[in-house]
């Protein structure tokens, strides 16, 4: 199932609803890059609250997505990683050191709003 991308100017919200196939991930990446350009947005929140698995491919795709968006001055926040998903990711060595994370969508948007205007930072 493709991931819906919601526009909440000047941000984009990608709300993941179900387990992601590799094709969905690539679709998400293309969709976000495309819309970020068209809507001239400053930040993206990818909400993964509904995900109960994060494998190496999805982690890497999200990491490179964040790096690609950063090149266009867009900051990416991954929001809503579940505690047990976080445990599993850390044990698999997928700790996404360069990506900004947030507790949930609310916190993610709050972080983006609190950030000074201008270029995107380097995560934490």
Which residues of this chain interact with another protein, rule CB under 8 A?
77-79, 81, 83-87, 89-91, 95-97, 100-103, 107-108, 111, 124
- Cα pseudo-dihedral 90, 96, 100, 102, rounded to 10: -30
**Minimum distance between the CB of residue 90 and another protein, rounded to whole angstroms?**
4
DSSP SS3 for 3: coil
**Minimum distance between the CB of residue 88 and another protein, rounded to whole angstroms?**
9
Strands 5-8 and 11-15, by their bridges, are antiparallel
Whether residue 35 contacts residue 46, with contact meaning beta carbons closer than 8 Å, is answered with no
Burial letters 75-95, b for 16+ CB under 10 A, else e: bbbbbbbeeebeeebeeeebe
- Comparison of 97 and 118: residue with beta carbon closer to another protein: 97
**Minimum distance between the CB of residue 94 and another protein, rounded to whole angstroms?**
9
- Comparison of 12 and 79: residue with beta carbon closer to another protein: 79
Residues 6+ apart with CB under 8 A from 63: 96, 98, 99
- Comparison of 31 and 123: residue with beta carbon closer to another protein: 123
- Comparison of 33 and 86: residue with beta carbon closer to another protein: 86
**Minimum distance between the CB of residue 109 and another protein, rounded to whole angstroms?**
12
């Amino acid at each position: 199932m493709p991931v819906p991308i919601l526009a909440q100017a000047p941000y984009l919200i990608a709300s993941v609803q179900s387990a992601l196939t590799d094709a969905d991930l690539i679709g998400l990446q293309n969709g976000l890059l495309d819309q970020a350009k068209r809507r001239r947005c400053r930040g993206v929140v990818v909400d993964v609250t509904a995900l109960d698995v994060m494998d190496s491919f999805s982690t890497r795709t999200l990491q490179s997505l964040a790096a690609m968006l950063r090149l266009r001055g867009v900051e990416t926040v991954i929001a809503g990683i579940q505690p047990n998903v976080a445990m599993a990711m850390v044990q698999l060595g997928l700790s996404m050191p360069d990506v900004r994370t947030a507790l949930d969508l609310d916190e993610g948007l709050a972080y983006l709003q609190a950030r000074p205007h201008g270029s995107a930072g380097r995560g934490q």
